[in-house]
């Protein structure tokens, strides 16, 4: 972490309007927040400002609205969650810029909170529009970034605003940087990456990074299916990326030539002809898949091999459940992984897990997140940090402002 970035703990916030970029983007059902993990993650930064007499102005986004303001993507349901968490009044502004925002901020007292409406109701946010960044900056005296899940995005609130205000890194973002820097600089071997999910192209940079400096890459989900298909096996009706087959073959060739890491492709998988809790499932060697079979989890032989590798590892990074975990019937391999990583952590391994689905899996099946060395709030940001060695747009923006 560059020493030139200023930390919030060193900021004078009393009487100041403090614009804090949060990485909320929480699940909301029928107007109620159903998972507060990302809100609770930045409690320390929010409380720091409130308890020291600053006016805390929170900005964040929800989802991916396409046509301006949409009620289903409003930030307003976060108000009661924030009030309960912080124990102070939380005022809601119906827009994130202009009079709708500035008038609410003007009425707020030191030690209170203003929550701005969804940043992405303005298309200028994702475009990093200078005028939009200026409109946000005009609301405050100081800027704080505590939105690790969004640090890989060069958006106005992430890279535009810190060029216009005295800027600081928040407590949770600093913890993210410290934990992931420990991974990128680690010499703890064996080193294991467990990676799953879809969109193989987004996972390739971190896979290549671990091919150069790690020992084992364990795959599951759509990534595994694509690699199985790239090896010439029939994957039936399974979800995979046919356009990524050449890339998958290239990665496996790199693995074969690597004098360090190996990509471990499942040898057996759990298949079914339908995705349901009542589906009849079968554990098959990958060479026996055919017809309308679909892969929904990795098999017993493979998970045992994965568990043996995890038990010997000194550093473990996990991003993505390895099966369709939303169905208990296809969650068993992910459960065995969680248990194995937790056991390895107890015996001295450094473990980092991250990604929205990974955290949701733990909540769904009541697995203790404190069993790991560190839990990252980012998915894509975590992977890009590990692949780039920490060169994320928002962190670079904070460094430039401080220098």
Encode pLDDT of 221-280 as tens digits. 999 999 999 999 999 999 999 999 999 999 999 999 888 899 999 999 999 999 999 999
Q: From CA 234, how far away is CA 287, in angstroms rounded?
A: 7
pTM of the model: 0.93
pLDDT of residue 2: 43
pLDDT tens string 351-362: 999 999 999 999
pLDDT in tens, 19-54: 999 999 999 999 999 999 999 999 999 999 999 999
Above 60 in pLDDT, residue 55?
yes
- Of the pLDDT bands very low, low, confident and very high (cuts 50, 70, 90), residue 201 is confident
**Between β-strands 17-22 and 55-59, what pairing exists: parallel, antiparallel or unpaired?**
parallel
Query: How does residue 402 score in pLDDT terms, banded at 50, 70 and 90?
Result: low
Statement: residue 376 has pLDDT above 70: yes
The pLDDT of residue 3: 52
- Average of per-residue pLDDT across 199-211: 90
For the chain, what is the HEC assignment? CCCCCCEHHHCCCCCCEEEEEECCCCCEECCEECCCHHHHHCHHHHHHHHHCCCEEEEECCCCCCCCCCCHHHCCCCHHHHHHHHHCCCEEECCCCCHHHHHHHHHHCCCCCEEECCCHHHCCHHHHCCHHHHHHHHCCCCEEEEECHHHCCCCCHHHHHHHHCCCEEECHHHHHHHHHHHHHHCCCCCCEEEEECCCCHHHHHHHHHHHHHHCCEEEECHHHHHHHHHHCCCCCCCCCCCHHHHHHHHHHHHHHHHCCCCEEECCCEEEEECCCCCCCCCEEEEHHHCCCCCEEEEECHHHHHHHHHHHHHCCEEEEECCCCCCCCHHHCHHHHHHHHHHHHHHHCCCEEEEECHHHHHHHHHCCCCHHHCCEEECCCHHHHHHHHHCCCCHHHHHHHHHHC
C-alpha to C-alpha distance for 264 and 63, rounded to whole angstroms: 34
Percent of residues, the chain, with pLDDT higher than 70:
99
């Amino acid at each position: 972490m560059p020493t030139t970035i200023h930390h919030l703990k060193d900021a004078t916030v009393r009487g100041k309007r403090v614009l804090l970029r949060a990485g909320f983007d929480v699940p909301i059902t029928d107007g109620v927040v159903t998972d507060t993990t990302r809100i609770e993650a930045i409690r320390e930064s929010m409380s720091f400002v409130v308890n020291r007499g600053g006016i805390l102005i929170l900005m964040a986004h929800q989802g991916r609205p396409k046509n301006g303001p949409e009620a289903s993507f409003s930030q307003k349901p976060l108000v009661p969650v924030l009030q309960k968490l912080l124990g102070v009044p939380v005022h809601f502004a119906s827009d994130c810029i202009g009079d709708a925002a500035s008038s609410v901020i003007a009425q707020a007292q030191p030690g209170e909170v203003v929550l701005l409406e969804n940043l992405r109701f303005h298309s200028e946010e994702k475009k990093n529009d200078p005028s939009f960044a200026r409109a946000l900056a005009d609301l405050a005296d100081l800027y704080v970034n505590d939105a690790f899940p969004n640090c890989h995005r060069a958006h106005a609130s992430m890279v535009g605003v810190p060029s216009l205000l005295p800027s600081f890194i928040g407590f949770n973002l600093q913890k993210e940087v410290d934990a992931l820097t420990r991974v990128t600089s680690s010499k703890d071997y064996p080193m294991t990456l467990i990676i799953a999910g879809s969109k193989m192209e987004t996972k390739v940079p971190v896979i290549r990074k671990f091919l150069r400096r790690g020992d084992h890459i364990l795959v599951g989900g759509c990534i595994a299916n694509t690699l199985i298909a790239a090896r010439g096996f029939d994957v039936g009706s399974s979800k995979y990326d046919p356009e990524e087959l050449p890339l998958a073959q290239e990665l496996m060739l790199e693995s074969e030539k690597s004098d360090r890491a190996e990509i471990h492709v499942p040898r057996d998988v759990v298949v079914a002809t339908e995705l349901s809790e009542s589906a009849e499932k079968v554990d098959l060697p990958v060479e026996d898949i055919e017809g309308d079979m679909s892969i929904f989890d990795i098999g017993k032989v493979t998970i045992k091999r994965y568990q043996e590798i995890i038990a010997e590892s000194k550093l473990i990074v996990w991003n993505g459940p390895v099966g369709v975990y939303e169905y208990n019937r296809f969650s068993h391999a992910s459960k065995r992984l969680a248990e194995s990583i937790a056991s390895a952590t107890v015996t001295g391994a450094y473990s980092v897990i991250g990604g929205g689905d990974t955290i949701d899996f733990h909540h769904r099946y009541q697995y203790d997140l404190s069993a790991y060395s560190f839990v990252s709030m980012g998915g894509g940001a975590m992977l890009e940090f590990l692949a780039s060695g920490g060169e994320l747009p928002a962190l670079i923006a904070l460094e430039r402002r401080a220098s």
